[in-house]
Amino acid sequence: MPQTKSETVPVRSTSEVVMVRHMVRRWAVEIGFSIVEQTKIVTAASELARNMVDYGGGGVVVLEALDDGIRRGLRLTFEDKGPGIADVEQALRDGYTSGGGMGLGLGGARRLSNEFEIRSKPGEGTRVMIARWKGAS
């Protein structure tokens, strides 16, 4: 998938989570996402960035603008070297939280994205990749 632009930013604090929201918004606007598409990917990004801060000891997010000549999209990869998730199925379940949250971050981010991939190994960290395509429902 040809990528037209890519950037990596650190996420270590709740104020950097806000910065990620703003950055994802800017990129989504640039790609031509509708307001609803923008809001969905910004919200998903906010959840995943917060998880890195709350549970992963901080991490990085890689933003990639995609264009294959037919579709334009935005891919976001959240990567931390935290404790990882022992039971990913359980973590994805709505309402499951180990930290007093609402337990909607992972499941919600999956629903708000067109593509969703999670890889986590206890002791090594967590990587979540999401993507949205312009015009996809």
Partner 1 sequence: MERIPILKMGRYLLVSIQVDMDDRTALALQDDLTAQIVKHRAKGVLVDISSLDVVDSFIGRMLANTAAMARVLDAETVVVGMQPSVAITLVELGLSLKGVRSALNIERGMELLQSVARDTEAETADAADEE
Decide: is 59 part of the binding site for partner 1 (CB under 8 A): no
Angle at 92 between CA 89 and CA 94, to 5 degrees: 125
Judged by beta carbon, residue 58 or residue 101, the one nearer Mg ion is: 101
Decide: is 70 part of the binding site for partner 1 (CB under 8 A): no
Strands (E), 1-137: 3-11, 59-67, 72-80, 115-121, 125-133
Judged by beta carbon, residue 8 or residue 14, the one nearer partner 1 is: 14
Closest CB 61 distance from ligand ADP, rounded Å: 12
Q: At what angle do helices 14-31 and 35-55 cross, to 10 degrees?
A: 150
Judged by beta carbon, residue 55 or residue 133, the one nearer ligand ADP is: 55
